[in-house]
């Protein structure tokens, strides 16, 4: 049985790297008595895969991990048990059964929502002008940046990877490409704009929060972005 779990990673847990998060989740499965399936062979391991691991320093309430279980209680009960053993900064939000034919979250990832704010004292002096210019910049026909590749730096147009960008108060909300096919980091968008208007982005000036991760559904002519937990349903 395939299960997709949605969780939040906040507070001091944002400083914990992905490999340590994986090890921690393995312990959670044991402590919460999740009847998780193990691989076969000489060194069996829990069958578990994460959708789009966060970078260190980023918080989120839209993280996903897929597991396989032999048996399970209701979604409500499993969430209770996992949250009961979770450390501060980790909260389990959804526990949903997937169809047997469902693709893994990792292979589905196509986009993500982010909220970006500036640390106090690091924000641009004229915020209204900055916000208006950023929104206009994101609607431009082309946004060229230098991106690091395996063969060195390459000039890349990131405009097709920005699906939406709005400013609400002091927060910048953006939906951008995420995943193996195309991947864009929110700080790259902010930096590209600031470079275009002659502003410098200070180190550690941004606070980045991931709100949701989406998978693609449909065909090449009509692609629909769907939150990853919407591919499954709650267990009563």
Q: How far is CA 229 from CA 11, 167, 219, 226, in A?
A: 23, 26, 20, 8
pLDDT tens digits, one per residue of 209-228: 999 999 988 766 667 899 99
Q: What does the pLDDT look like over 32-75, one tens digit per residue?
A: 999 999 998 888 999 999 999 899 999 999 999 999 999 999 99
pTM higher than 0.85, yes or no?
A: yes
Q: Work out the pLDDT band at 146, boundaries 50, 70, 90.
A: confident
Give the C-alpha separation, 69 to 37, whole Å: 5
* pLDDT value at residue 219: 66
10 Å Cβ neighbour count for 203?
7
Q: Which two tokens stand for residue 7?
A: 């969780």
* Residue 114 in this model has a pLDDT that exceeds 90: yes
Could you tell me what percent of the chain has a pLDDT over 90? 86
- Euclidean distance between CA atoms 63 and 73, whole angstroms: 22
As a whole number of angstroms, the distance between CA 134 and CA 196 comes to 10
Nearest 5 degrees, angle CA 102-CA 59-CA 5?
25
């Amino acid at each position: 049985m395939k299960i997709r779990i949605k969780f939040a990673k906040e507070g001091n847990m944002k400083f914990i790297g992905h490999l340590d998060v994986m090890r921690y989740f393995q312990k959670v499965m044991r402590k919460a008595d999740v009847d998780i399936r193990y691989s076969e062979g000489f060194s069996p391991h829990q069958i578990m895969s994460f959708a789009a691991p966060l970078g260190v320093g980023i918080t989120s309430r839209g993280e996903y991990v897929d597991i396989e279980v032999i048996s399970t209680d209701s979604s409500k009960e499993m969430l209770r048990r996992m949250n009961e053993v979770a450390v501060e900064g980790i909260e389990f939000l959804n526990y949903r059964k997937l169809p047997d034919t469902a693709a893994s979250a990792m292979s589905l990832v196509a986009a993500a929502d982010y909220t970006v704010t500036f640390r106090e004292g690091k924000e641009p002096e004229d915020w209204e002008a900055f916000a208006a210019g950023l929104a206009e910049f994101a609607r431009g026909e082309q946004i060229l940046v230098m991106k690091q590749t395996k063969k060195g730096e390459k000039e890349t147009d990131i405009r097709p990877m920005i699906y939406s960008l709005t400013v609400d108060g002091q927060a910048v909300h953006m939906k951008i490409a995420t995943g193996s096919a195309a991947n864009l980091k929110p700080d790259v968008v902010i930096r590209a704009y600031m470079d275009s208007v002659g502003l410098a982005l200070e180190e550690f000036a941004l606070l980045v929060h991931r709100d949701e991760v989406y998978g693609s559904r449909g065909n090449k002519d009509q692609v629909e972005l769907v939150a990853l937990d919407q591919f499954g349903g709650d267990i009563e």
